[in-house]
Chain A
Amino acid sequence: EDQVTQSPEALRLQEGESSSLNCSYTVSGLRGLFWYRQDPGKGPEFLFTLYSAGEEKEKERLKATLTKKESFLHITAPKPEDSATYLCAVLPAQTSGSRLTFGEGTQLTVNP
């Protein structure tokens, strides 16, 4: 069974304090790993797609990396507006279509 585990469940940072969020996955073949940001009461907002181990993608203060067993979302010098829940999801290779398996998310709070 496909599994995605995110850690920590919650993270509180001071503005400018860099950190990383972890997403560990167990899947029989990976077609893609996705990172989303979700604000309270809203739908997830797409951040990154990673397809193969060693791949990295960046966007502003965020950088996502992928290995064969986990992905990291690095946040450099975060600002209060980065506060949100960050979700990781996998798309297994053995299933057709677009069925994503999500982790529980990491709730990030950045204090000014």
Chain B
Amino acid sequence: KAGVTQTPRYLIKTRGQQVTLSCSPISGHRSVSWYQQTPGQGLQFLFEYFSETQRNKGNFPGRFSGRQFSNSRSEMNVSTLELGDSALYLCASSLWEDTQYFGPGTRLTVL
């Protein structure tokens, strides 16, 4: 069974730009969660989608948004990038409210 895939794997942007990251969950998984990982803050929850609806949201500004499509694939968008948005963005999928399986992540660098 294929795991969680994320594209792109690496991304370099400049301040003020926007970026869209993509995540394809494990086949049959309907829940997709996004996390931001930085050396100083560790892994922090961004949001979760289930059946195209946002089910949970973390404490991030409105510049961070996401969506989920009918095939469970998910995208997250960050508008007006700031230097502090440089991080590893991780997507995880689960069948229901249980074990989450993570993708390899997208490394975003903001210059």
Contacts and interface: CB of A to CB of B under 8 A. Distances in A.
A102 B42 contact: yes
B42 A105 contact: yes
Given A31-B97, A43-B90, A44-B90, A95 B56 contact: yes
Contacts of A100: 33, 35, 43, 45, 100
A73 B35 CA distance: 23
A99 B50 CA distance: 12
A101 B45 contact: yes
Interface of A: 31-32, 34, 36, 41-46, 49, 87, 89, 91, 95-105
Contacts of B43: 44, 87, 89, 100, 102
A25 to B, nearest CB: 14
B48 A42 contact: no
Contacts of B58: 99
A103 B42 CA distance: 8
A43 B104 contact: yes
Contacts of B33: 98-100
B105 A91 contact: no
A91 B45 contact: no
A97 B48 contact: yes
Given A43-B90, A102-B43, A103-B42, A97 B104 contact: no
B24 interface: no
A98 B102 contact: no
A49 B101 CA distance: 12
B31 to A, nearest CB: 5
A98 B100 contact: yes
A99 B35 CA distance: 10
Contacts of A46: 99-102
Interface in B29-53: 31, 33, 35, 42-45, 48, 50
